[in-house]
Structure 1
Amino acid sequence: MSLVALHNGGGVGIGKAVNGGFGMVCDGSERVDEILRSAMLWDVMGGVARRSWARNANAMSTVQDFNQSFADDYYITEPYLVDEEIIKNITNYKQ
């Protein structure tokens, strides 16, 4: 049994966003326990992945560690960092 809730808010104000929530009945079964383990990891690492793609150094390091530790089951795509000098040369950037 599960519960799905749609509600306003999310930190941007009523009427400006609709958020979907999910509730799960924790019945003690191994199936539900595995769903919860996977969902919690997925939820947290989704946030870390977004920050990594935004070039946050700590998040990028965490993603590298995660990819090594969970290589058999999960993988987060890492950002490609561009050499700023290349960009400056291509665009003829002048300071």
Structure 2
Amino acid sequence: MDDDFRCDDCGSSKFETIVHYGSYISACTTCRQGPTTSFMAVAPALTGIYRATLIDDDWRHLEQIYEGQGVGFVEAVRIAARSGSRVLIRPIADGDRRHD
């Protein structure tokens, strides 16, 4: 994320995003605070490469559902979130990308 985007509570510039039933929470990775809005409203503006992972209530990773960008990414997140699953979205750098 942009270094100008900082958590109001602790000042960190590192954020993760969870999608649940089409809404999302961009939460600070340090203190877990953050705003909530609609994933589908911002999804078209996402231009980077992202990893989407199903998580439980305690933020434990259950299963990676998608890695990439574009329509496939948005659709995978939309389907999982619509079913009630919590989906953690993290931007990934090219060096962190899996090449299975």
TM over 0.5: no
In our comparison, the structure showing a higher alpha carbon Rg is 1
Higher relative contact order (CA 8 A, sep 6+): 2
TM-score band, normalised by the shorter chain? under 0.3
The normalised TM-score by structure 1 is 0.24
The normalised TM-score by structure 2 is 0.23
More strand per residue: 2
